[in-house]
């Protein structure tokens, strides 16, 4: 009898644990989508009170490396296709689920007094922040634009470039006045307290900023994650993306 009771208790605990895990959705999302995703998950939770989200916001490259190393993730959202392709090649993304669902633009922000700046006049500044091009898509786009107009090498050699861990940190540097300006996404610039958009980087200087999303291999086994994945392209989610300055298909 004691053995049966012990087995019943153990079975109940296992079922409870499995049920709790089934309600959790692990998100690995590009830092530039932090506020939009917090609003989107709130909208989904209003319809699905049982859902529990555990978001991880960081640079796309850092997130991809974390997923590769076994970090829990049901849905991955990158700020460029490069890191999505990286995980696809590692066979960590559910085939057929990767798709672009939002777009952004690159801008240069800083103090109001420097309103006559352009890409060609960046060399007149002393400190320019950007996300590290090694891991941060916004930094990769910024480098691409600067290389296109021929100023990147000079700025790098003169040690005028301040590398940030992600686009939000680059924005923070500019907002605090710790740098003369920073390359960030338009959606991030809208959140600044002090810094303003000094100029929009011409679209012809860099690849279009696109946000691919996908279910991971483990996420494809999570029914709630699959529901949320579908919700990300719903009219409600798209309206939230637009509210935060993102463009959609």
Strands 209-215 and 161-164: unpaired
* Residue 19 pLDDT grade (very low, low, confident, very high; cuts 50, 70, 90): very low
Q: How far is the CA of 27 from the CAs of 6, 24, 127, in angstroms?
A: 36, 10, 34
Q: Please give the DSSP secondary-structure letter assigned to residue 201.
A: P
Q: How far is the CA of 156 from the CAs of 136, 163, 165, in angstroms?
A: 17, 11, 17
Residue recorded with tokens 């978001």: 55
- Check: CB of residue 170 under 8 Å from CB of residue 183: yes
pTM of the model: 0.83
Q: How confident is the model at residue 115, as a pLDDT?
A: 67
- Check: CB of residue 74 under 8 Å from CB of residue 216: yes
- Total number of domains constituting the chain: 2
Find the mean pLDDT for residues 53-66.
96
Question: Which structure tokens are listed for 7?
Answer: 């087995």
Q: Domain of 93?
A: 2-103+209-243
Residues 97 and 215 reside in one and the same domain: yes
Q: How confident is the model at residue 156, as a pLDDT?
A: 97
Give the least confident one: 49-63, 106-120, 230-244. Answer: 106-120
* Residue 13 pLDDT grade (very low, low, confident, very high; cuts 50, 70, 90): very low
Residues 92 and 169 reside in one and the same domain: no
* Residue 113 pLDDT grade (very low, low, confident, very high; cuts 50, 70, 90): confident
- Has residue 248 been placed in a domain? no
- Has residue 249 been placed in a domain? no
Residues 51 and 98 reside in one and the same domain: yes
Strands 106-110 and 196-200: antiparallel
The CATH code of the domain that includes 156 is: 3.40.190.10
Query: For residue 199, what are the contacts with CB-CB under 8 A and spacing of at least 6?
Result: 107, 108, 117, 118, 119
Residues 135 and 217 reside in one and the same domain: no
Q: How confident is the model at residue 116, as a pLDDT?
A: 83
Residue 51 has pLDDT above 70, yes or no: yes
Q: Which helix (H) or strand (E) is 35 found in, with range?
A: helix 34-47
Using alpha carbons, select from 36, 27, 28 the residue that is nearest to residue 186.
36
Tens digits of residue pLDDT in 197-229: 999 999 999 999 999 999 999 999 999 999 999
What rounded mean pLDDT belongs to the chain? 91
> Looking at the DSSP assignment, which residues form a beta bridge with residue 40?
none
Residues 129 and 76 reside in one and the same domain: no
Residue 4 has pLDDT above 80, yes or no: no
């Amino acid at each position: 009898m004691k053995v049966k009771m012990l087995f019943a208790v153990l079975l109940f605990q296992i079922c409870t644990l499995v049920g709790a895990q089934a309600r959790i959705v692990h998100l690995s999302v590009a830092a530039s989508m932090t506020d939009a995703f917090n609003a989107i998950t709130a909208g989904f939770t209003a319809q699905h009170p049982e859902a529990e989200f555990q978001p991880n916001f960081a640079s796309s490259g850092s997130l991809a490396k974390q997923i590769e190393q076994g970090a829990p993730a049901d849905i991955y959202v990158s700020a460029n296709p490069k890191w999505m392709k990286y995980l696809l090649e590692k066979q960590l993304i559910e085939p057929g689920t990767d798709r672009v669902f939002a777009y952004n633009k690159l801008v240069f922000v800083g103090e109001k007094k420097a309103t006559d700046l352009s890409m060609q006049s960046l060399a007149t500044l002393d400190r320019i922040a950007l996300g590290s091009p090694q891991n941060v898509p916004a930094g990769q786009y910024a480098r691409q634009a600067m290389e296109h107009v021929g100023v990147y090498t000079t700025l790098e050699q003169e040690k005028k470039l301040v590398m940030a861990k992600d686009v939000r940190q680059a924005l923070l540097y500019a907002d605090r006045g710790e740098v003369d300006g920073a390359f960030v996404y338009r959606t991030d610039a809208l959140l600044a307290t002090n810094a303003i958009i000094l100029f929009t980087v011409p679209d012809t200087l860099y690849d279009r900023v696109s946000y691919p999303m996908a279910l991971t291999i483990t996420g494809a086994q999570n029914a709630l994650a699959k529901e949320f994945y579908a919700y990300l392209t719903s009219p409600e989610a798209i309206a939230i993306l637009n509210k935060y300055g993102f463009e959609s298909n």
